[in-house]
Amino acid sequence: MTIDDVLAVELVDGQPVPTATAGEPYESWLVISDDGRVELGIWEVTPGAFHGSKEGVYEQMHFVAGRGTITDAAGTVTEIGPGVVLLCPDGWSGAWDVRETVRKTYAIVKTR
């Protein structure tokens, strides 16, 4: 799969972000593979702010479109946009502020 494929693929599932704190962010995704331990996919979210956390999983994210920031619980701010890779270990939490619709590929590994 190329970057063009990731940008063009239609995402089939979606819902309002349940932890929204501002705006009306809506998330959509496409699971490419899930063997019960490792899940690979594509995820997208529209502008807004929301809380995120990782419990029982480790996630690697590779952003391919959009703009925003993610601020972790320690206060570290990461600018997200095309080409940015973010690693979130089990127990991570933070706040997302999405200014332009974000699309990413992800790999989630269950840790428990």
Rounded to whole angstroms, what are the CA distances from 99 to 2, 31, 32, 37, 85?
A: 25, 24, 26, 32, 18
pLDDT at 17 over 90: yes
Q: Which residues pair with residue 13 across a beta bridge?
A: 29
Q: What are the boundaries of each domain within the chain? A: 3-110
- C-alpha to C-alpha distance for 87 and 106, rounded to whole angstroms: 10
Architecture of domain 3-110: Sandwich (2.60)
For the chain, give the mean pLDDT.
96
Q: List, for residues 65-86, the tens digit of each pLDDT value.
A: 999 999 999 999 999 999 999 9
pLDDT at 112 over 90: no
Report helix, strand or coil for 12: coil
pLDDT at 12 over 90: no
Give the DSSP H/E element, type plus range, for residue 99.
strand 93-110
> Quick check: 5 and 17 in contact, CB under 8 A?
no
**pLDDT for 86:** 97
**pLDDT over 90 for what percent of the chain?**
95
**pLDDT for 48:** 98
Q: List, for residues 31-61, the tens digit of each pLDDT value.
A: 999 999 999 999 999 999 999 999 999 999 9
pLDDT at 109 over 90: yes
pLDDT at 63 over 90: yes
